[in-house]
Structure 1
Amino acid sequence: MPPSQADSVVLVTDSTAMLPSHVAAQRGIVVVPLQVVIGARSYEEGAPEATPQTIADALREWTPVSTSRPGPAVFLEAYQQAAQQGAESILSIHLSGEVSGTFESAQLAAREAGIPVLTVDTRQLGFATGYAVLTAADVLAAGGSAEDAAAAARTRAAATTSLFYVDTLEYLRRGGRIGAAAALIGSALAVKPLLALAEGRVSLREKVRTSSRALSRLEELAVEAAGDCSVDVAVAHLSAADRADVLVGRLAERLAVNLEGREVDLGEVGAVLGAHVGPGMVAVVVAPR
């Protein structure tokens, strides 16, 4: 799609940002997919063979599941294609470099792109990254520069609270994504962990005794994070639609003033994030506007 933003800046992100395909197309955002490996086969995130349900089933059945970043060559191809279509510069916004090498791949490709490429590490995941991307798109649509849009994306991401509950830490442990949280939880198998993104890394926020208590705390922490601000709110899940629906309803009611008529966004995480959190995960994102 030819660039339509000011000064022909093309916006690039990755598939973990959870942008609906129609939104990306409408805004002219290029989405570079990460890879998920199920058993011995590798798929691009979003492929029919790598749906959230496929990942949840594979994890439950102990089928080996892993993920990998797009290589620099994949980003370089995206950047060069944008340039061929008239882009004069590129703004590339991605998930936390602390949990994925995707941002590093974008940086490496930027050096070879032939046009200026500004890269942004949101230090966030999922909907939180997506909100930062859409904020950048708004700035570009209003005539702002790539630098203005990058600054707005970083500011939005830094102000965003990302919290999530998992039924088990096993999947995060397998992928090496929990670090200190594993030591804090120790062998307390009866404990249900509430996790957060802090400085781009997954960290332990609280420990509770039951899944119902964990979901109640997610609700309370989201309300606290919103405060008196105008916010966007999202709930994400993997194979936990009922839990997510309840949380959406509660937050829509309690944060109606903050939402100013907007709905609570709801979505199932894609294969890549799902591979690391496992079925039963519920997350909430609160992003001040």
Structure 2
Amino acid sequence: MSIRIVTDSTADISPETADALGITIVPLTVFFDEEAYQDNIDLDNATFYQKLQASKVLPRTSQPSPALFQEAYTRLINEGATDILSIHLSSQLSGTYQSARTAWESLPEEIRTIPFEAIDSKSISAGMFMTLQKLAEMATAGASLEELKTYAEDRFSRTRILAVLDTLEFVKRGGRIGGAKALLGNMLSVKPIIALSKEGTVTPVEQPRTRSKAFARMAQLLAESGPIEDIAIAESNAEVGQQLAEALKTVYTGKIPRYKLGAVLGTHTGPGTVAITFVNAKQ
């Protein structure tokens, strides 16, 4: 049995790691004016944040077309895939999940001959990566498609994301949060904390006055969330990632992996963003 896993580039998995795990990544596109870059293929994280800080125009992002997904699915079937599990960022943030479903449903019947499941993770970045890594290991060990789907849906239902931004300006301009909140954040020069809700939508949490207070509050919120099954930091740069890691050590003694925050999420949150992703333990 050869179950293949497909995801999109907002999972922030490096091409090398994806190859090692046997995960196929379909990229979103990042535009700087008329220049188009395939996320994490034509534009790595370091280059993206350099361009973001230098650009006078806010970049924009675009979901993969159904044709890109069809190309990936067809190739995997031709390579001998017996099942396909396609997992994507929150449908509340992008049409990528729907594009994946449309791609599969519109494939010719003579190609669409194997079991297929698509999952809306209601998450993004490390919130997807942590579970995708587990799923790849389970698939290699012989888990069935139904077992993988059940595990993924359960994990994503317990996955939470909290992020500290340098400013709300980018989420305001990208239309991902209310303009009034963004205006207030800019006026007070705060370091806003936002969350990804259970439904996969961006919600404001609090607006501490300084980054150190924001990180301390993040640690407090983590402690209040209860027992943790899994945890990671997603960072736009190493400095903010290390600062958040130090704050979290006051309430969490386990290992905290750190991953790079990709271009798509960075487009909508801005430079200086750092997030914590955690999976609450089963009760």
The alignment's C-alpha RMSD in Å is 1.9
1:248 aligns with 2:245: yes
For residues 247-286 of structure 1, the aligned pairs below 5 Å read 247-252=244-249, 254-256=251-253, 259=254, 263-286=255-278
Offset, 1:90: 0.4
- TM-score (ref. length: structure 2): 0.89
AA of the residue aligned to 1:251:
L
1:223 aligns with 2:223: yes
Of 164-173 and 17-26, more deviation after overlay is shown by 17-26
In structure 1, distance between residues paired with 2:183 and 2:38: 34
Contact kept in structure 1, 2:63 and 2:94, CA below 8 Å = yes
Corresponding residue of 1:183: 180
Contact kept in structure 2, 1:135 and 1:156, CA below 8 Å = no
Offset, 1:186: 4.6
For residues 100-111 of structure 1, the aligned pairs below 5 Å read 100-111=94-105
Offset, 1:184: 4.2
Contact kept in structure 1, 2:169 and 2:182, CA below 8 Å = no
Corresponding residue of 1:153: 152
In structure 1, distance between residues paired with 2:247 and 2:191: 21
In structure 2, distance between residues paired with 1:107 and 1:223: 38
Corresponding residue of 1:202: 202
1:117 aligns with 2:116: yes
Instruction: Pick the aligned partner of 1:55 from 36, 42, 48.
Output: 48
Contact kept in structure 2, 1:95 and 1:103, CA below 8 Å = yes
In structure 1, distance between residues paired with 2:212 and 2:93: 28
Deviations 1:119-151 (A, max 9, x none): 000000100011222232233233222122112
- Aligned partner of residue 84 in structure 2, secondary structure: strand
Offset, 1:110: 1.5
Contact kept in structure 2, 1:237 and 1:269, CA below 8 Å = yes
Corresponding residue of 2:66: 72
Q: Given the superposition, is the C-alpha separation of residues 51 and 19 from structure 1 closer, same or farther in structure 2, using an over 3 Å criterion?
A: closer
Task: Count residues in correspondence.
Answer: 272
Q: Percent identity?
A: 36
- Aligned partner of residue 118 in structure 2, secondary structure: strand
In structure 1, distance between residues paired with 2:163 and 2:40: 22
In structure 2, distance between residues paired with 1:219 and 1:169: 21
Contact kept in structure 2, 1:11 and 1:30, CA below 8 Å = yes
In structure 2, distance between residues paired with 1:168 and 1:246: 17
Of 130-139 and 75-84, more deviation after overlay is shown by 130-139
- Aligned partner of residue 117 in structure 2, secondary structure: strand
Consecutive aligned runs of 4 or more in structure 1 exceeding 4 Å deviation: none
